[in-house]
Chain A
């Protein structure tokens, strides 16, 4: 990183402001909270872009629409075991190893807050060993509200009038639009929400245009999402029931890493989740739930005539008993999961039943000190898995705290089965050698997270965290991509490798300052690297940047007008798997990605007693060379505008 730029960044943010500490950024589950207000002020206009404001998660994208994530080193970009939940209920959006957050049928303006859990976690009947993003929606108290929004964006760099001169250059991709409407209502014993949203994005950056245009055949490449979702809450006496239902359909240019390029396909998601809680007496309750998830792709027209038809149907049902006393709090549950995976419409999908038995306890030794643990046993497919999480926390009256979380997991093979099922179920064009993976029985993961912080001064909150991940017997794909000159696309040679031992660790730091009700500043930094492992493991983890810095300066008047300036520094990255591509294409595609600074500026204005919200956002105002993936888009200076109308009924 340029030293002068670093100095300017630090001086700029340290001189200008001093500020009052905000409320604790952690929720009751220990996850870090990003409020809906912070999300709106950051100028986020699409659900999938939430990934970009999570400081402790690293991400990469080809098209700026679908993101792959490494949640604080819990996982590599290759695996994507992190999970997404809405109001605490997990929804399976993972399709062929890719999580696309955009597919969740929740509108941005329905979000009360999001909760980021970057350590292994036991949720409501599910384990999230690879991190969790929980979207908590707003509740309506004794009222009904309706809102509608429309946003659109554009990227700079078009030829303009020079199109008709010798200085002509290609037209730059368009950034699409998002439109949504939602309805929220609440009464004494009943409440709910409904949402509908459409998003359009064009994966037509010059780096993507030729290969996507060629495989699309006779239409201009475009990603089109339609999502519908609802939630109903019923409460009476000691009984409470939550029902969630949703559907999304995404016409995507789906990048399958094992194939090496995007393929047009339609992704379908349906889900239904019913959760009932009966309270027997104060401190004792029983929860029952049943969930159905249908997640699949349909073949879309493509010039290679590839059939990506694939479907995973998942039934989950279980019960959980919860009890709490003065010092002791605990729960225990049993969950059955039945998966039909890889059904290509011929009834030949693999079926799998997993039983999860788990318990979670927390004992408060004193006002300041508590100890908790979660323990689980998974059984299925003639295999057993073990999960353990220990949590120690200390907090004094002045607000200083320390938290230590350690975990030990031996996962079921079946929980990693997303890859090898494909090659067995008709995806023979992938031609993957999976034999080393199938014979691996030494797989286990350990993690340690230590977080400490507190008020450094009356107006300054500080936090520092260290994390360590140790992986044994972890499988990886040895991907070697090559360039296909005919249509500027890529192919892949894939083989599976098992890593005997590898580890990853780092430190994070965060500062929150607030001078008064108008000015706020946040600073954070991550430094992380591979601590052990062979040369393949080390090279593979260099996909993830070792250094990341973020700063956010926010100025509010009377809540009607907010200016938000955010700065991000992302260190360099290296994707060894694209070395052959670099050699073949010369200066066009590079295995190494340069570090960059990205500065965004967002203005948000409310009108008409907050009925109308407008946002004008500028991304990458330095017009830095921003690229997250060696064969992905380059993100130039862009601008977005949003108009939202909300009214009570």
Chain B
């Protein structure tokens, strides 16, 4: 069995196990989509591999919206990072990862909560048009990201977030990107009209 299949099966078991644990342990929320949490994070790509031999990552930004789901937490969001070419005429590019995710959040201490989520989405790569033909300016590919972190609640609604992410983009030669994130989040009650649409 190839290492890839082993890794995938182990990963699948992990997620299915976690999912079954969660569905077995947690009572369904009476009111999914009752609350919203808006988060903004500064992110930094810290790992190095062959991709980084060609491009140098700059600072990035992530925004997201999370809400209680029928089980666990549902989130949507986007991550933006700029990569500068180390050698011209190779183009610079900006990546925009638009994702939907599902995860779990658990209380660790009174003001500290931990979270873990799996995100999937479209990883858009927008190349610098000075070097690229118009039809090759935008590429998109499936990406999967594992994100985890802790939230320190400064008040009932506001929390400081420290997180890590591992993102894999399914290009022919996979892009493997690891990020560190630091940000802030704020919880809100979902407006009635929005709950009506989501439920």
Which A residues contact B (CB, under 8 angstroms)?
2, 4-5, 8, 12, 16, 154, 156-165, 167, 169, 172, 518, 555, 557-558, 560-561, 563, 565, 599, 607-609, 612, 616, 618, 621-623, 637, 639
Q: Does B198 contact A (CB under 8 A)?
A: yes
A616 neighbours in B (Cβ, 8 Å):
100, 120
Question: Is the Cβ of B1 less than 8 Å from the Cβ of A608?
Answer: no
Residue of B9, B51, B69, B142 near A637 (CB, 8 A) is B142
Chain B residues with Cβ below 8 Å from A555 are 19, 23
Question: Would you call B5 and A162 a contact (CB within 8 A)?
Answer: no
Docked-complex contact B71 and A623, CB < 8 angstroms: no
Q: Could you say which of A156, A172, A608 contacts B196, with CB atoms under 8 Å apart?
A: A608
Q: Is the CB of A161 within 8 A of B28?
A: no
Cβ of B42 under 8 Å from chain A: no
Tell me how far the C-beta of B60 lies from the nearest C-beta in chain A, rounded to whole angstroms: 15
Identify the closest chain A residue to B132 (Cβ). Answer: A164
B142 & A161 in contact (Cβ 8 Å cutoff): no
Contact with A along B130-144 (1 / 0, CB 8 A): 011000100111100
A161 near B197 with CB under 8 A, answer: no
B189 within 8 A of A: no
Given contacts A160-B171, A164-B90, A557-B70, are A608 and B100 in contact (CB under 8 A)? Answer: no
Interface presence of B47 (CB below 8 A): no
- The prevalent SS among residues of B at the interface is mixed
Instruction: Return A622 CB to nearest CB of chain B, in Å.
Output: 5
Known: A154-B142, A607-B198, A616-B100. A162 touches B172 (CB 8 A): yes
B50 CB, min distance to chain A CBs, angstroms: 8
Q: Which of B174-199 contact A (CB under 8 A)?
A: 175, 196-199
CB-based contact A160/B172 at 8 Å: yes
Bound-state Cα–Cα, A560 to B1, Å: 37
26 contacts between A and B (CB under 8 A): A5-B1, A154-B122, A156-B170, A158-B141, A159-B171, A159-B173, A160-B172, A161-B51, A162-B171, A162-B172, A164-B90, A167-B50, A167-B172, A169-B172, A557-B70, A557-B71, A560-B70, A561-B69, A608-B198, A608-B199, A618-B120, A621-B8, A622-B4, A622-B8, A623-B4, A637-B142
Q: Are A4 and B1 in contact (CB under 8 A)?
A: yes
Digit string of B103-114 for contact with A (CB within 8 Å is 1, else 0)?
000000000000
Q: Which of B90, B93, B198 contacts A165 (CB 8 A)?
A: B90
Interface size on B, residues (CB 8 A): 45
| A to B contact number (C-beta, < 8 Å) | 107
Whether the pair A165, B139 counts as a contact (CB closer than 8 A) is: no
Q: Is B80 an interface residue (CB 8 A)?
A: no
Contact between B136 and A163 (Cβ–Cβ < 8 Å)?
A: yes
Contact B171 A557 (CB under 8 A): no
Q: Are A16 and B20 in contact (CB under 8 A)?
A: yes
CB contacts (< 8 Å) of B69 on chain A: these are 561
In the assembly, what is the distance between CA of A563 and CA of B15, in Å?
13
Q: What is the minimal beta-carbon distance from A430 to any residue of chain B, in angstroms?
A: 39
Select the residue from A163, A599, A621 with max chain B CB neighbours within 10 A. Answer: A163
Are A161's CB and B199's CB within 8 A? Answer: no
Question: 8 closest pairs, A vs B, by CB?
Answer: A160-B171, A156-B170, A557-B70, A169-B172, A608-B197, A561-B70, A157-B172, A156-B142
Q: Chain A residues near B12 (CB, 8 Å)?
A: 599, 621
Instruction: List the B side residues contacting A157 at CB < 8 Å.
Output: 170-172
9 other A-B residue contacts (CB within 8 Å) besides A156-B170, A162-B54, A637-B170: A154-B141, A156-B141, A159-B173, A161-B171, A164-B91, A557-B71, A561-B71, A599-B12, A622-B5
Q: How far is the CA of A614 from the CA of B95 in the complex (A)?
A: 25
Question: Of all chain B residues, which has the CB nearest A603?
Answer: B102
Q: Is B83 an interface residue (CB 8 A)?
A: yes
Residues 16-32 of B contacting A (Cβ, < 8 Å) = 16, 19-20, 23, 28
- The answer to whether B173 touches A162, judged by C-beta atoms less than 8 angstroms apart, is yes
